[in-house]
Amino acid sequence: MRGKYFFCFFFMFFCSVFSLLKIKAQDVTYGLPQEIWQNCRYNHNGEWLLDMASERWCNLSVSDQQSYAKAYQEGYARAKGLDLEKIINKSGAMFEFRLIPPGRFWRGSPEEEVGRNDREKRHKVVISNAYYIQKTEITQIQWRSITGESPFSRQIKMEENDSHAAAYISWDNIKGKMLTKMGEEYRLPTEAQWEYACRGGTTGRYYWGESESEIGQYANSDWGNNSFKYIAPVMSFKPNAFGLYDMIGNVWEWCEDMFQNYTGEDLVDPCNISGSKRVFRGGSCYPFGIRWLRSACRGWDDSSLRNDRTGARLLLRL
């Protein structure tokens, strides 16, 4: 009889604990106001993610989108016991990474966006897993420390400076000369991961809003009226809401994907592996037009391309 009572007590205790844990899980808002979380969340395979493609989110002001995205990033780190920022020493060079939480967002551009093209057909994308992405573009000292080479040395449109973004590095170079020495947990971001990180929760033309007059505060470009003639030292401009610098301007950034036009279908963790050209994103400091500085803008070329305006930033898997 005592065994029966013990079993009943244990069963009731287990159910109570389970219910409390379930309620607590439902109460997690990752640092966001309850109303925002309730109206801007998306359930993917049983886990609630911030939905930056929801109608409520898209109707927020840019400043609110930035503020809530930052709060979500910090709240997700706390809730999951993850570092918001990682600093890693590789061959004597310091690499800084920022945590990017999972979520859903609009990739591409709406038809009314100024400067868009047909290769940016807008669609919803789920980023199902958190990851770390480099806080800055790969710098000259980081490239030289890992590869032992300085392809940017003695180039006409390059200043040799440890803190400047590295250029004259091809997609093939990054894969064959850098990542092979970094470890399998490092790679290039997919195009979707890149744009999600770039936007930092925003849904407009730029990650600071729609204002062209603010370009000079956030991006090294010919539109910015800044003092840099060519590539600038990293972190010379304001970061986005996720704490990332130079996602727009300075140098184009190689991504993992091969280039294809978007189909408009909603996707989960896409990475295109068919095609003949590799994708790069973010625009550069050179005068190709303001349309190339938008968050949705896409570039592509041969994986062997090396020039004075193309670099990269790395992704670190959890």
What is the rounded CA–CA span in Å between residue 153 and residue 122?
A: 40
pLDDT > 90? residue 186:
yes
pLDDT per residue as tens digits for the range 214-227: 999 999 988 766 66
pLDDT > 90? residue 38:
yes
pLDDT per residue as tens digits for the range 243-294: 999 999 999 999 999 999 999 999 999 999 999 999 999 999 876 778 899 9
pLDDT per residue as tens digits for the range 128-167: 999 999 999 999 999 999 999 998 888 877 888 999 999 9
Global pTM?
Answer: 0.91
Residue-level pLDDT at 10: 43
CATH number for the domain formed by residue range(s) 35-316: 3.90.1580.10
The amino acid sitting at 126 is: V
Strands (E), 169-316: 186-187, 252-258, 267-268, 278-281, 298-301, 310-311, 315-316
pLDDT > 70? residue 18:
no
**Mean pLDDT, rounded, for 75-81:** 98
Residue 230 pLDDT grade (very low, low, confident, very high; cuts 50, 70, 90): confident
Q: Where are the alpha helices (DSSP H) in 33-155?
A: 34-39, 55-58, 62-80, 140-147
Question: Could you write out the DSSP letters of every residue in 224-244?
Answer: S--S-SSPPBTT-S---TTS-
Lowest mean pLDDT among 1-15, 98-112, 176-190, 228-242: 1-15
Residue 7 pLDDT grade (very low, low, confident, very high; cuts 50, 70, 90): very low
Residue-level pLDDT at 222: 80
Percent of residues, the chain, with pLDDT higher than 90: 82
Residue-level pLDDT at 27: 59
Residue-level pLDDT at 122: 98
Residue-level pLDDT at 137: 98
| Continuous segment of H or E residues that includes residue 162 | none
Cβ atoms 216, 224 nearer than 8 A: yes
Residue-level pLDDT at 287: 65
Domain parsing of the chain, residue ranges: 35-316
